[in-house]
Amino acid sequence: MASFKEKNAIIEDLSNAFIDENSKTYAKEYQAHLNAIQAKAIQQVAKGIRPTQQGLRKGLKITGINRNTRNAFILGAVALLIKNDRDVRLIRKLKPMANLMRLYSVKNPEQFALKVDKLVQRDLGVKVSINVKETKALKEVSTFMTDNKEEIQKLVKENTKALKEINKKITTNESKTIIKRRNALIKERIVIDGVKRPLTNKEIASRLRVEFKDDSARLQRILDTEVHRQNELVKEVVAKSQDFKFKTWHNVGSNVRKGHVEVDNKKIPINNKFKVWRYKSVKGNLVRNGFDMMSHPGDSTAHADNIIRCKCVLTFSN
């Protein structure tokens, strides 16, 4: 029987593994989206055309929401079972997930997340080959998805709405950044054969091409934050559906915000919100700079200072 601390560690590792796996679903198409914006802007600059934010903005067809929401729903159920492994009533209600955990160990979180994602894809009709053991596991996943169809559909709609806002923000920020950098380069001067002159349009375009060659790190930060929000939202919904009464905030990692340290291990009624302070540095000291009322880590209503790259998790109890 795992201890309280061991259970929390497994849930934290599992949550991180699902963030990594679910982020991959979005990363490729978002990177292609940013590349298209950059290419269009650079092409315009090279021709001497002044790019505009409106001209660069373009829509992105968001895929993978069904898949990621279902992954998160399974994560929510599995986290409940890990935390409450003596609750016979819960084990009976979440029998398909209890059976899945007998087939695949949660003590190998990366492998578990990878396996769940594969099974969810197959359940959604994606043609991925599966072996005999996976066929058995797929029956459990399909049963669980069917049993919770209505709740999952509601969450898919909510996550779709949130991702559209993220898409709009990413597109706007990218176009603003490119235009700002282009305007700065126009003011630059270089010395060629002892003569100072401005950069040509082609030289500016070449500089932009190099500077915006790889935005993957910044993009990954945005997507990790969004996937974390999805996971914690869905976990809370699953806990409420199973009539849990309380939720507890747990910090993850070593570099934790001061406001999050203050709510670490704080237990509140499941329908309440955590008061999470934001801090800013003033002359080397951290001082309070407002607060957010957060239903869960990554809550989209909170200020960016409280959610960017946050990895904190909730656990639930009665």
Residue 113: predicted pLDDT? 97
- Give the start-to-end residue ranges of the domains of the chain: 4-217, 247-317
Q: Is residue 252 within a helix (H) or strand (E), and if so which, with residue range? A: none
Model-level pTM greater than 0.95?
Answer: no
For residue 275, the model assigns a pLDDT of 97
Task: Please choose, from the candidates 36, 128, 113, 33, the residue with its C-alpha nearest in 3D space to the C-alpha of residue 70.
Answer: 113
The pLDDT of residue 105 is 95
Total residue count of the chain as it appears in this document: 318
Q: Give me the pLDDT at residue 182, please.
A: 95
Please give the pLDDT value at position 32: 87
Can you give the pLDDT at residue 74?
A: 97
User: Between the CA of residue 110 and those of 3, 17, 313, what are the distances in Å?
Assistant: 21, 5, 17
Cα–Cα distance for residue pair 12/267, rounded to 1 Å: 17
- Amino acid type, 195: V
Average pLDDT over all residues of the chain: 92
207 phi and psi angles, rounded to 5 deg: -60, -45
Q: Which residues of the chain fall below pLDDT 70? A: 1
CA–CA dist 255, 247 (Å, integer): 23
Could you tell me the two tokens for 16? Answer: 């991180």
Give the pLDDT of residue 1.
Answer: 59
Q: Give the separation between CA 39 and CA 20, rounded to whole angstroms.
A: 28
- pLDDT, residue 219, reads 83
- Output the pLDDT for position 174: 87
